[in-house]
Structure 1
Amino acid sequence: MSADQNHDPSQDQQNHHSNEPSIHPRNALQPVHTGGGPASTSEQAAEPQQQPQQALDGGDTPMAPLYWIAPLTGGLYGLAIRYLAGWAGPFLQSIGVNSRMAGVMSIGFIMLTPVILGALTVYLLRNTRPSWMATFFTPWIATALMMMGSMLTLMEGSICVVILSPVFLVLSSLGGLLMRAILNVMEVQGRHIGGLAVLPLLALVVEGPVTPQDRWQRIERSTVVAAAPQRVWNEIVQARDIRREELKPTLAHLIGVPRPVEGINHTTAQGEVRESRWERGVHFRGRVTDRVEGRTLAWRYEFSPDSFPPGTMDDHVVLGGQYLDLGETRFTLTPIDADHTRLDVVAHYRVTSTINVYAVPVADLLGRDFVDMLLDLYRRRSEAAGPLASGPPA
């Protein structure tokens, strides 16, 4: 039998299948490289790197936690600096170290802490590539968390928080913008951040020997009252039962300063004094230094250790304290005609700190607002009282 006669067609079919590339089940879903050669190692490694890059650019889920972790960390940092600024000096003195470390009312704390707080917050957000708007406002969240934490831990009261919030918000944004600008031109490492974090504490040590400056200021305000001078005089020396609705709203009262309840002049063995009472048990006196019946009245304030019960005023803004005091207050009544009087007030106050550039304007704003409230009270009461009855003046 010839070779052609012995050929089996089934053998050709088997040989045909044997020449086709085999496909193993494990390789069935793998892409086939058709470029004419084996796939390079760099091409194989390119695909698994694409997904993290998308998360970095788009701020997807892997980066989302940073948007609350960063301001929370900044807030905790600010709270820690606030604690150390108020605790370190007294602690060192209690163990026998004559520390001249500055405290909370200092450049080191009020000016440097918010800048570093904002810079730290933006540094923690660096991988999210925040916009300039996020760079500006995210430090505000950290500042708000710090302020709320200081009130919850009773390190600060509402008065100080409101007074310091504007400068903290502005400087924290400045710190964030500076950090964003630095990150655009250089790589910031952890040791750099550690050095920045301790700057406020180092500043407190350096600033400690600096003597705070006393700044005596004066407030001059006036109003015209549709009443005779003697009527206005009576309302000033006997201001009894002052009700809340009689007092126009002031910024000082909105942030927590107690309202006056009464101010009464009377004679003692040591001379004439003015007894003043405010809400929440606040009380103090003024010793009369000048009096011309119906024309001039002046007194100088005196505060005692119990004038402000605990919790009524923050230690940093309590009157008669280390940082703030009141001097002489003088009322002058000038007749315009029989039924009109010009009422002038001159009030003196002291601010003592190393940040007078900020503290003095704030004290002046609050003081003017408070004096205007008193003038409005005396004007309303004098005009509502009607003409004086016949007889000797009160």
Structure 2
Amino acid sequence: MNQKTKDRLKSFLKIVAIPTVYALFLRFIFGAKDWEAVFSMMSVTFLFLLPSIVGALTVYFSDIKNVKKLAYRIIAPWIPIYAFFIITFLFAIEGWPCLVMILPIFMLSASLGGLLGGYFKLRKKDSKAYLSILLVLPLFASPIESYIGVQSKPYQAYTYIDIDAPAEKIWDNVTRVREIDEKQDKGWLTKLLNFPRPVKAELNYEGVGAYRQAIFTNGLVFHETVTDYEDNKKMSFSIRALPHEIPLTTMDEHLVVGGKYFDVLNGTYELEKLTDKTYRLHLYSNFKLTTSFNFYASWWAKNIMKDIQNNILQVEKYRSENE
């Protein structure tokens, strides 16, 4: 290996290794249980500021010829981000679902940080001082964010499907859902994120006060109490998931239903007559999020809930029309 190749390799390792180590260092601090009151991974500081600094470091340590290229300042910061993701996944520091959901944020923020790092690099004057301030900024920003606190905000996921079958037959498949074979599972997003899939739903009787149990794979159970009931027309129910019932291997700790950040509140089935032979089955669910970045988390939560609901609706449609 000649000296030129060695220098290139050394430079590459520098612009990748230093930002990656910095990201792992902050991950350790923000993931420590003893410090969670001050440093939280479920924060704007961790999800937006950390990758921005990683991007800034990557570009700042790069060769000036590369930094002058706009495309480099945007794309190069993704390399240490991918390295950080691979390390945390391989060593089981982070789960696959969390990594998938935060990847868009990290890539965008890293690119913005790369543009900032390029500005520092090209400006030269006082750049080291600004970069030093940037490095320690998360350690000051996170306590301030924790002090401000977060508020819970409600959201709704709405789905529907049209079914060509008698109302009585549809309703039988709504109130009680027989075991769903894995081959019938069409939930693409929940499969991608390795979320528990619906298995069956049991109801002890039809009417207000009835107990309904929605069972998912890997030990996830929704305990439902019917709050409003009209036979063949409407069924509303409160939903409660008990985190202590869910095995630790079922879901990432930041995504546990009924946990600190995400909870499902209630749901409603409504059957609307369209024609003499066709009905529209509506399914609503209400949930709440408690994060400082609900504007982003709500997009994922809504689409996950819709994916689950559409999956169940297509099973109920098939059974009503074909069985």
After TM superposition, is the score higher than 0.5? yes
Paired with 1:201 and 1:374, the residues of 2 have a C-alpha distance of 44
TM-aligned CA deviation for residue 190 of structure 1: 4.7
1:105 aligns to 2:42 (yes or no): yes
Paired with 2:287 and 2:274, the residues of 1 have a C-alpha distance of 29
TM-aligned CA deviation for residue 104 of structure 1: 0.8
Would you say the 8 A contact 1:225–1:342 is kept in 2? yes
Q: 1:123 aligns with which of 53, 56, 60?
A: 60
TM-aligned CA deviation for residue 210 of structure 1: 1.3
Paired with 2:263 and 2:233, the residues of 1 have a C-alpha distance of 26
TM-aligned CA deviation for residue 100 of structure 1: 4.2
In structure 2, the partner of 1:282 is 220
1:378 aligns to 2:321 (yes or no): no
Unaligned runs of 5+ in 2: none
Paired with 2:245 and 2:274, the residues of 1 have a C-alpha distance of 38
Alignment map for 1:354-369 (pairs within 5 Å): 354-369=292-307
TM-aligned CA deviation for residue 61 of structure 1: 4.2
In structure 2, the partner of 1:91 is 34
Would you say the 8 A contact 1:229–1:334 is kept in 2? no
1:80 aligns to 2:25 (yes or no): yes
In structure 2, the partner of 1:263 is 201
Q: Which amino acid aligns with 2:283?
A: V
Q: 1:172 aligns with which of 80, 103, 110?
A: 110
Alignment map for 1:225-236 (pairs within 5 Å): 225-236=163-174
Would you say the 8 A contact 2:243–2:259 is kept in 1? no
Q: Which amino acid aligns with 1:372?
A: N
Q: 2:13 aligns with which of 63, 68, 79?
A: 68
Give deviations 1:25-52, integer Å, cap 9, x for gaps.
xxxxxxxxxxxxxxxxxxxxxxxxxxxx
Give deviations 1:63-112, integer Å, cap 9, x for gaps.
3322233123212211211110121xx425xxxxxx84141111111110
Paired with 2:177 and 2:143, the residues of 1 have a C-alpha distance of 48
In structure 1, the partner of 2:81 is 143
Would you say the 8 A contact 1:228–1:335 is kept in 2? no
1:296 aligns to 2:239 (yes or no): no
Paired with 1:374 and 1:141, the residues of 2 have a C-alpha distance of 39
In structure 2, the partner of 1:305 is 243
Paired with 1:148 and 1:328, the residues of 2 have a C-alpha distance of 37
1:215 aligns to 2:167 (yes or no): no
Matched position secondary structure for 2:238 = strand
TM-aligned CA deviation for residue 163 of structure 1: 0.6
Q: Which amino acid aligns with 1:347?
A: S
Give deviations 1:217-238, integer Å, cap 9, x for gaps.
1122222101111111111122
Q: Which amino acid aligns with 1:343?
A: L
Paired with 1:190 and 1:293, the residues of 2 have a C-alpha distance of 70
Q: 1:114 aligns with which of 46, 51, 58?
A: 51
Would you say the 8 A contact 1:250–1:370 is kept in 2? no
Paired with 1:304 and 1:249, the residues of 2 have a C-alpha distance of 23
Paired with 1:338 and 1:120, the residues of 2 have a C-alpha distance of 66
Give deviations 1:115-140, integer Å, cap 9, x for gaps.
00111111121456443323222211
In structure 2, the partner of 1:198 is 136
TM-aligned CA deviation for residue 266 of structure 1: 1.4
In structure 2, the partner of 1:49 is none
Paired with 2:17 and 2:165, the residues of 1 have a C-alpha distance of 58
Would you say the 8 A contact 1:263–1:275 is kept in 2? yes
TM-aligned CA deviation for residue 188 of structure 1: 5.4
Paired with 1:247 and 1:329, the residues of 2 have a C-alpha distance of 21
TM-aligned CA deviation for residue 164 of structure 1: 0.4
Unaligned runs of 5+ in 1: 1-54, 93-98, 386-394
Q: Which has the larger radius of gyration?
A: 1
Instruction: Flag the 1:371–1:165 CA change in 2: closer, same or farther, 3 A.
Output: same
Matched position secondary structure for 1:235 = helix
Matched position secondary structure for 2:204 = strand
Paired with 2:14 and 2:169, the residues of 1 have a C-alpha distance of 63
In structure 2, the partner of 1:330 is 268
Paired with 1:129 and 1:61, the residues of 2 have a C-alpha distance of 18
Give deviations 1:158-197, integer Å, cap 9, x for gaps.
1111110001011101101111122112245555433221
How many residues were matched structurally? 319
Q: Which amino acid aligns with 2:9?
A: A
1:181 aligns to 2:119 (yes or no): yes
Paired with 1:247 and 1:325, the residues of 2 have a C-alpha distance of 23
Would you say the 8 A contact 2:243–2:256 is kept in 1? no
1:242 aligns to 2:180 (yes or no): yes
TM-aligned CA deviation for residue 370 of structure 1: 2.3
Matched position secondary structure for 1:349 = strand
Q: What is the percent sequence identity of the aligned residues?
A: 26
Would you say the 8 A contact 1:239–1:262 is kept in 2? yes
